[in-house]
Amino acid sequence: MAARAATSSVKWARDFLFRRVSSNSLGAIRNCSSVPGASSAPKVPHFSKKGRILTGATIGLAIAGGAYVSTADEATFCGWLFSATKVVNPLFALLDAEFAHKLAVTAAARGWVPREKRPDPQILGLEVWGRKFSNPIGLAAGFDKNAEATEGLLGLGFGFVEVGSVTPVPQEGNPKPRIFRLKEDGAIINRCGFNSEGIVVVAKRLGAQHGKRMLAETSGTSSSPSDEVKPGGKSGPGILGVNLGKNKTSEDAAADYVQGVHNLSQYADYLVINVSSPNTPGLRMLQGRKELKDLVKKVQAARDEMQWGDDGPPPLLVKIAPDLSRGDLEDIAAVALALHLDGLIISNTTVSRPEPVTNNPVATEKGGLSGKPLFPLSTNMLREMYTLTRGKIPLIGCGGVSSGEDAYKKIRAGATLVQLYTGFAYGGPALIPQIKEELVSCLERDGFKSIQEAIGADHR
């Protein structure tokens, strides 16, 4: 096993170097041939200093990994790969925030990220909506907006990944710059505004991934008994959520969400109605009692009128804002219980600037704040919503999670599942196994034998 991994690592490094050299050579040939009779030396593409640093670090890690793995078993090498990303990840901070984000998505899409080979501890496994999660740690919507890298991201060891928000019609979103780091506070402010390639493009990508898995299953590559009990969904190992948004200029929000259901629900293990982004004018007004009730009814009807197999339709969730009053929460809870909503995600980004962010000069930028400063606000709201829904509705805790202890606090407050985004942006792939390891320690420390036992423990 170690020998095969070593061969694979060396091959990857060789192929990576070959692609760099061959692409440069081809570029030089094209430059030369484009000028008839040109006799000067061909121009070599210029790579910035930051680009050379990233490339050099990546190649160095690949070569070192190839040497190291020859004496290590697969699990040890897997751990080494995740730890090695701690060297590369800080380099992304040298880049423009949005460019770094695109680079990270590209890396995951092309398989340039570690792949988790170690099974999750049984204590982290749980079943929600009839779907088996190998662990409760997920990636929130906003990272992979256009479903470009679902396989690579699930391969990192997330229990589930949520793509989107996806709008019916492609839109650019708000003007750049629109993503701002607050490094000292472990936070980010964004005002992206649902930049999306649109339903058609995302449906094609998800359809291709779904078809790939179906082909693998029918060809017998996933037919062993051990594979049959593996947690997973429509996109393969791991659960895939699809977050639906509305276009900025749309006058009929419900029609936008219904269109998303009709085109994307067949590829989703769960669906999310996003009515809480602060960067789309008028969107948060849909959280009002009457508006939300009307919207959810229409989306549920659109989903239920479609033909479904034995697994039934995907669960429907609503993602809410952290900037709501107690009365607002009571209204949302009432709608959720009355319409048998399958779940709530608590919460989106905040337009407030809680301490210590107020002292950061970047805090004056408009947009939604995410990251560590959001943790108290979103967790308190999670706790309130668990009480209001009497623990009858699965809640996904999102906002400020950057450690296993953070995830554990969300779970004790009432979260069945937990999502992160900003913590992942700062911590990189190495954060995922770290959070899971710390979460196991928290559970064992307090005498819990499963995640299920810990859900809502603060209320008992």
Buried residues in 424-436 as b, exposed as e (16+ CB within 10 A): bbbbbbbbbbbbb
Integer Cα distance of 20 and 54 in angstroms: 13
Catalytic residue among 222, 276, 277, 378: 277
DSSP-derived 3-state class of residue 318:
strand
CB atoms within 10 A of CB 397: 32
Burial of 166 (0-12, 13-18, 19+ CB in 10 A): buried
Residue listed under structure tokens 């549920």: 300
| 33 flagged as catalytic | no
Residue listed under structure tokens 């809480």: 276
Integer Cα distance of 92 and 185 in angstroms: 17
Contact residues for 182 (Cβ-Cβ < 8 A; gap 6+)? 188, 189, 357, 360, 362, 363, 371
Handedness of CA 202, 208, 209, 210 (dihedral sign): positive
Closest by CA position to 398, among listed 412, 384, 415: 415
Which residue numbers are catalytic?
Answer: 277
